[in-house]
Amino acid sequence: MREVEHNKLQIREVVGKGGFGTIYRASDGVTSNLILKTMMKTPSRSMEPVARKEYDFGMKLKHPNLVRMRGSFDTATDHCLVMDLVEGCNLFDHMQKNSLGYFVENRAKRMFKGLAKGLHHSHKFGVAHLDIKPENIMVGKDDHLTLIDFGLAAETLGLCHQFSGSADYASPEVWRNMPFEPACSDVWSLGIVLHILLTGCLPFNPKGVPNMRVQPDLFWPEDVNVSDDAKELVGWMLELKPMARPTMREVLNHRWLKRPISAVFKRRWSLGKLDSLNKP
């Protein structure tokens, strides 16, 4: 793997641990806004291909709504990746602190549009994220969203044979353990995130996704205002058939993202009672 001046890196604190290794906040003597991700070398499982893939994909992507990869190196015990620190907190925690539990539509649109631009950029350069969820989206200053953690990413060219991700956000085709179009799967996951931004809840019970064979009825809380245009886009992104979903370019060109919310362009609103799919 490509060498960087890792001898200048200073570890500040542990910020996270996972199945692959440990994540540290670090500095290089010039900036303290770096993340060091280590993947332990083990005799039983080589992490080098995983680390190399994340590094190679990360170096392709340069967009304000995507985490920026800065370098990589090996030590005697670990494969290491260096990337920019993304300030803020993840979207899941951010929404937990939100008194409403969701965002009013105009705010949700502004937040989502940047995220959609980032994913469009990623797909344009041949990289599907494959683990889009609120925990992998950072909320920064002025509601700026940044997609992080490309550890499960795959090429968009050709079918994917990687059946992993997060259960509540994985597309039906991932659950079927059959080769699938990775970019289409990303669109499904992002559609669920958009629904959560607008309502604060999941669009359906995720337990039904593995055996989903018919188009699901989406749950729209009755006392949360969501325009028909927004509902239409979410429904399109959550089409059961992967190839019936929009590309990220089509998402960005959808009228909900093109039109301002105003008295002129506002379509019919739905009103009613808020409920949660997660209630026992």
Amino acid identity for residue 32 in this structure: S
Per-residue pLDDT tens listing for the chain (280 residues): 444 466 778 888 998 887 678 999 998 877 778 999 999 888 767 788 889 999 999 999 999 999 999 999 998 899 999 999 999 999 999 998 877 789 999 999 999 999 999 999 999 999 999 999 999 999 999 999 999 999 999 999 999 998 888 889 999 999 988 899 999 999 999 999 999 999 999 999 999 998 898 998 999 999 899 999 999 999 999 999 999 999 999 999 999 999 875 533 344 443 333 333 444 3
Query: Under CATH, which architecture does the 89-258 domain have?
Result: Orthogonal Bundle (1.10)
Domain with CATH 1.10.510.10 in the chain: 89-258
The predicted pLDDT at position 273 comes to 33
Partners of 39 in the beta sheet? 21, 79
The predicted pLDDT at position 277 comes to 40
- Does residue 238 contact residue 218 with C-beta atoms inside 8 Å? yes
In 3D space, the residue among 225, 224, 233 whose CA is nearest the CA of residue 255 turns out to be 233
CA-CA distances (angstroms) from residue 215 to 26, 181, 209, 221, 237?
46, 18, 10, 19, 12
For residue 160, give the DSSP letter. Answer: B
The predicted pLDDT at position 163 comes to 83
**CA dihedral angle for residue 84, residue 194, residue 126, residue 149, rounded to 10 degrees:** 30
- Does residue 239 contact residue 194 with C-beta atoms inside 8 Å? no
The predicted pLDDT at position 19 comes to 67
The predicted pLDDT at position 262 comes to 53
- Does residue 84 contact residue 70 with C-beta atoms inside 8 Å? yes
Composition of the chain by helix, strand, coil, percent to 5: 35, 20, 45
Domain with CATH 3.30.200.20 in the chain: 9-84
The reply to whether 228 belongs to the active site is no
* CATH class assigned to 9-84: alpha beta
Active-site residue, from 131, 149, 186, 229: 131
Q: Is 97 annotated as a binding residue?
A: no
